[in-house]
Structure formats: C-alpha cells, structure tokens
Amino acid sequence: MNTSGQIRHNWTLEEIRTIMDQPFNDLMFQAQSVHRQYFNPNEVQTSTLVNIKSGGCAEDCAYCSQSARNQTNLEKEQMMEVQEVIEQALVAKERGATRLCMGAAWRNPNKKDFPRVLEMVKVVKALGLETCLTLGMLNDEQVKQLKEAGLDYYNHNLDTSEAFYPKIITTRNYQDRLDTIDKVQQAGISVCSGGIIGMGEQHKDRAELLRTFATMRMHPNSVPINLLVPIEGTPLAHMKGKTDSFEFIRVIATARIVMPQTYVRLSAGRMSLSDEAQALCFMAGANSIFYGDKLLTTDNPESDHDVQLFAKLGIQMQQNIKAEMAASKMAEQMTELTA
C-alpha cells in the first residue's frame, strides 16, 4: 500500500476512488501514516466563526439558511459593528481559538461595506488572532486591499463536483468560484476551500471534488469538510440523516492522503456526529475544527464539550504563536515603559 505522503498535483479520479474505496481499516492506516509525516497527530487547530452580516443573500444555495430565496425564519440583519467583532474575538481568544473566521451572507462585498471589513481584519489581527474572511466573490481590487489589510485566509468553498453544482446553486457557476480562489492564491492569501457531504450527490461527486482540490497548482491550505446541516425551509431540509458517517470519514481520510500538507477541517454537522465518530475523523487526519457554540446560523458543540473530548483523546489545541509573540512584545514594551 502506498503511504508515501508525496505531494502530488496530478491525481486522477480513478486513483482517488481507489483510495476512498479500500477497506476502512486500510484507509484509516494510510491516512494516519501520511498525517504523521507532516503534522503532530495529537494537535488540532481551532477557528471561531462570527457572522458579520446575516441573511438576505442574493444567491440561491439550496443548503443555506441565509439565502433570500429560502423560506427560513432567519432575520436579515445589518452588518455588525467593529466593536462587536472585537468583543467576540476576545471571547474566542480567551477560549483558546487561534483564528477568527468572519462570514457575510453576500454574493460579493459592496463598496459601502468593504472599508468596515478591512477595519475588522486590522483590529482582529491586532488582538493576535489569525484572520479569515468569507464574503463571496471578490474582484482584483478587493483582493489587493484585503492583502494590504493583512488578511491571512480567505474561505471560498466549491461545495461539490462541477457536474452536481447546478443542482445546488444556479445563481453562479463553478468557474466563478475557481476564479476567486485563483485571485486569492495569486495575491498570497492562504485559501480555505472545501465542500459539503450529504446534499444528494453521489460517491463519485465526492471523489471529483477532492480531485479538483488535489490537482490545483497549490493545494488549499485548509479544506473544510462539512456534513450538511439540513435546515427547515431550504430545498435540502429533507436530507436529514441521509449520510452514513463512515462515508463522511472516508472523505476526510482521502482528503488527508491526497493533500498531505493541508489542514483538513472537520466543519459543519458535528452536532449530528457522536464523539466516537469525531474521534475517527481525527484519526482519519482531520486536524482543525470550528470551535465555539455557534457556526454561522446553526449550533455547534459547546466549547466545554470540545475541551472535554480533546482531554479524553489527549489532543492539544494548537497554540497561537503569533498571539504569544504579541503578548510577549507587549510585556517587553511595558517593561521598557516602566523602567
């Protein structure tokens, strides 16, 4: 069995399907062997989500509570004030998250709101957290300004295979997504891009999604694997309990094997996975999570529960080196001032 962990960009669909379909124990062994070549197997990175602009989105994503086209009970809200983001960032940092991921229910950011987003990036960075944004499609000028503001990561999911995509979203196409990812990568901002399992796609669509990421010139730095959270009032509400957790774990393990240096993020849907299933996800090579009691509009396991689960598994939360450096720098300055 090939456990080489070589970084490749020429994976074929056949190869990926062969990896994903091997006996479960062989797959887990291969994923864990590759994982250990690049990462500490007992460390997980944690990001906290903040919904900086909730609801009323112009896109028609069939899974999403925030699309104006879906009849969910979500209130459309104004964009959050910078002060509130600071408050939430401080809570996230206090709980041990290393990154704040700020999401907006936009097709793309508009001119009026964009300066406030840039301000948010600067203040969150100054607090010693890594910054991530997910705002929809971006133009060249916006990417440039985000880079100048110091943005670390941009999340822009492909969600599923190109073939299945039109069954889920009709207001944009796959190439639009790829173009934004490319712009972000070219500007030197790290890309976070992943997908959703359980929307009615087939096994081969999952393999094809992984092939798309694994054949990019640069693999995304982070690949979130979401398990669909079926939401009342969306066209996918009926998909409740339709996905086998072993299939979900197989996708995680395969992502780990074909993108050995990528952070594979166990993302939405953890509320419907047992602790044991989540432990298998970590064994399969997932090494980051969304941490905090809420995702964007739906529930996530309580942070205390995650802390207890990590303790049971002997998993450490990755420390924020930047935050520590910022704190020690601040301490140095204080000493200089008081000397």
> Which residues form the interface with ligand DTB (CB under 6 A)?
49, 65, 101, 103, 134, 155, 157, 194, 224, 226, 229, 267-268, 295-298
Active site residue 64: yes
- Contacted by 198, from ligand DTB, ligand SF4, ligand SAM, none: CB < 5 to 8 Å by type: none
* Candidates 17, 101, 177, 211; catalytic one: 101
- Amino acid symbol at 323: A
Neighbouring C-alpha atoms within 13 Å toward the C-beta of 42: 6
Site string for ligand SF4, 98-117 (x = CB under 6 A): -------x-x----------
Site string for ligand SF4, 121-160 (x = CB under 6 A): ---------------x------------------------
Active site residue 281: no
Binding to ligand SAM, residues 2-41 (CB under 6 A):
none
Q: Which is nearer to ligand SF4, 135 or 317 (CB)?
A: 135
Helices in 228-273 by DSSP H: which ranges?
A: 245-258
Separation of CA 107 from chain center: 18
Q: Which is nearer to ligand DTB, 28 or 224 (CB)?
A: 224
- Contacted by 96, from ligand DTB, ligand SF4, ligand SAM, none: CB < 5 to 8 Å by type: none
Residues 213-252, buried b or exposed e (16+ Cβ, 10 A)? bbbbeebbbbbbbbbbbbbeebbbeebeeebebeebbbbb
The pair of structure tokens assigned to 176 is 């639009």
Q: Please report the DSSP string for 292-313 in residue order.
A: SSBSSSSB---HHHHHHHHHHH
* Candidates 99, 177, 192, 250; catalytic one: 192
Assess 235 for contact with ligand SAM (CB under 6 A).
no
Active site residue 57: yes
Burial class of residue 78 (count of CB atoms within 10 Å of its CB; 0-12, 13-18, 19+): exposed
The count of residues in the chain is 339
Rounded distance, CA 277 to CA 309, Å? 12
Q: Which residues are catalytic?
A: 57, 61, 64, 101, 132, 192, 265
Give contact residues for ligand SF4 (rule: CB under 6 A): 57, 59, 61, 64, 66-67, 105, 107, 136
